[in-house]
Chain A
Amino acid sequence: MMCKITNLISTSVVIEDISIRLQPAGGKDSSAIIDASVAKRSKDLKNRCAKWVKIEWYDAPRPARLPSPVSPASSLAATLLPMVEPVPVPAVPAPVSSAPVFPSIDILEKTVQNVGKKQDDIERKQDEILTLLRSSPSVRIGPTMSGPVVDPSDPMMIPDHILPDSAEISVKVREDRIERHDFDITRKALKKLKGSNT
């Protein structure tokens, strides 16, 4: 069984645990076809990315059936069925004598252990983030409209350190200067008013 994943949003989507990047919707490489078993085991696809992609499942096409050979001596066949020549069956290729391409069991086991450790780290950090977000006070300015309820089971990845440690940066910003003669007066008036509001 196969699965087609299509990006629905205008930025690229990365499904990290199965290493798939989908380009922005409507463009080239905005969808991918993968094996259904790979899609089913992806937590990222199920949780974080579910709202940005469309998933379609379908059976892999079955090989076409060859028609049964018909005896030319059959009079019935002559009247009802067209003459069909048997399709030649290709010869079975000789077995490859080179060493198998599968990695050794040791390497596979180590890889599985490493992935397991990384998943544990990710889950631990997600818990820390959720605890931090729940405990931080919200900012309110007067009565506000109620917003949507946060789903704490939706993991949002924020690493410990965002700014790259070693990066070559060459970025120019556009500068402008504004003259605000009233800036200090405005600041003092706002401070006075906010003080009297409390």
Chain B
Amino acid sequence: MSKIEKSEKSEICDGAGLDVGTMNFVAARRNGNKNIKTTRLRNAFLDLAPEHKRMLRLSKTSYVEYEGKLLIIGDEALSTANLFNKEARRPMQGGLVSAGEIDAQVVIAVMVKQLLGEPRVLNEKCCFSVPAAAVDTVESDTTYHKAVLSKILTEIGYSADPINEASAVVYSECENENFSGLALSYGSGMTNVCLAYNAMGALEFSLGRCGDWIDRGAAKSVGTTAAKICSLKESGVNIISPKSREEEAIAFFTRALIDYSIDNIITHFSKVKSEILVPKPIPIIISGGTSMTGGFVEQFQDRFQKYKDKFPIAISEIRAAKDPMSSVATGLLLLSQMDDL
């Protein structure tokens, strides 16, 4: 477990932010006046026969052993799965804790504890991300997801507070616009959308299409596996200038995802238009691991031009979050340090 460096004598504030993503967990904590320390773990695990423990120790691979089970956790779960010709297991599916995965709760609990560490004070506040209800997925309910995460955080010693994922991006990125903005968090399992004005959430929803959808679609169209497409995406692809069939497929599905998300914003905003008044132009903030694909924001800006005339809100600019991978966790950390939330 990582330790806070004692050489830093600056003031350390209590509170923690935890982004619970389908592909990655990211935690954020203050570590000095200017520094935020983020910790990340890949949200995947792999079960191995207990006799492989010695090999894992020698190679310093992350693992947990309990009740006769040996589980590799994190990035190494994916690479080891390939080695043993198996598939890594994922505790979350479509942005939510997978109720059908029997080891999911234990794996998530171990990962959360490693990321956050022990609470600095009793019942230290920890804000964790929760997706909004999906408008295009049947039976997308966050009750079980919230209950499991709350239980885990309480067991570790934190006071758990669930917060909408995309709204955390607005808090982290829109201080100059008085916390008004349209945030899109493009994760692996879901795309979360939040329209906020003066720090008040006006419209929140999520879509079941995102990084995993791109991987599956591109894999199917070129006859490879989703894992290989994901690996290619993460190794550095530019969707503006694809160099192979696989990259073209990724570019195609990424454009489709962008169009889909803009289309849904138009559709769902029109349903609540009479209840929401946004008097000034606001920025669109793009964050999330999937948005880190090369050329994503440029492609979004380009595709947005086609929808500009029928977009229901005046937009001042389209920009990427300062750090797309940790934007949600940073926003949650901000909220955790507010006394009167």
Task: List residues of chain A with CB under 8 Å of any chain B CB.
Answer: 9-14, 16, 21, 23-24, 27, 48-49, 51-52, 129, 132-133, 139, 141-148, 150, 156-159, 161-164, 166-187, 189-191, 193-195, 197
Contact = CB atoms under 8 A, between A and B. Distances in A.
Given A12-B100, A176-B326, A144 B201 contact: yes
A184 B205 CA distance: 29
B2 A175 contact: yes
Given A145-B132, A178-B323, A191 B162 contact: no
A145 B37 contact: no
B93 A148 contact: no
Contacts of B161: 139
B38 A175 contact: yes
B110 interface: yes
Nearest to A164: B66
Given A14-B101, A193-B179, 8 more contacts: A9-B93, A10-B90, A11-B98, A164-B67, A174-B39, A177-B35, A183-B34, A191-B338
A159 B102 CA distance: 12
A13 to B, nearest CB: 4
Given A158-B147, A190-B199, A193-B198, A145 B155 contact: no
A145 B205 contact: yes
A162 B1 CA distance: 19
A174 B34 contact: no
Interface of B: 1-2, 30-31, 33-41, 56-57, 60, 62-67, 73-75, 87, 89-90, 93, 98-102, 104-106, 109-111, 113-115, 132-133, 135, 138-144, 147-148, 151-152, 155-156, 161-164, 167, 171-172, 175, 178-179, 196, 198-205, 268, 272, 275-276, 323, 326, 330, 334-335, 337-341
A170 to B, nearest CB: 6
Contacts of B147: 129, 132-133, 156, 158
Contact of B2 (A12, A173, A181): A173
Interface centre among B100, B141, B326 (most CB of A within 10 A): B100
A167 B113 CA distance: 13
Contact of A145 (B90, B135, B335): B135
B281 to A, nearest CB: 19
Contacts, number: 218
B164 A141 contact: yes
B155 A167 contact: no
Given A143-B202, A163-B155, A194 B31 contact: no
Given A144-B201, A158-B147, A189-B175, A176 B334 contact: no
A168 B64 contact: yes
Contacts of A27: 87
Contacts of B93: 9-11
9 contacts: A9-B100, A143-B202, A143-B272, A150-B143, A171-B74, A178-B36, A189-B175, A190-B335, A193-B199
A161 B144 CA distance: 16
A174 B64 CA distance: 17
Interface centre among A146, A170, A191 (most CB of B within 10 A): A170
A147 B141 contact: yes
Nearest to B339: A191
Contacts of A174: 39-41, 75
Contacts of A176: 37-40, 326
B205 A187 contact: no
B72 to A, nearest CB: 10
B215 to A, nearest CB: 11
Contacts of A177: 31, 35-38
Given A190-B179, A195-B340, A179 B110 contact: no
Closest 7 CB pairs of A and B: A147-B133, A141-B201, A167-B66, A164-B66, A142-B201, A171-B62, A173-B39
B265 to A, nearest CB: 12
Contacts of B341: 194
A173 B114 contact: yes
Contacts of A164: 64, 66-67, 106, 110
A194 B340 contact: yes
A93 to B, nearest CB: 39
A11 B90 contact: yes
Contact of B133 (A12, A145, A179, A193): A145
A147 B37 CA distance: 34
A156 B148 CA distance: 10
A139 B93 CA distance: 23
Contacts of A186: 171-172, 175, 334
B87 A172 contact: no
Contact of A171 (B63, B106, B339): B63
Nearest to A195: B340
A171 B152 contact: no
Contact of A194 (B67, B106, B199): B199
A23 B102 CA distance: 12
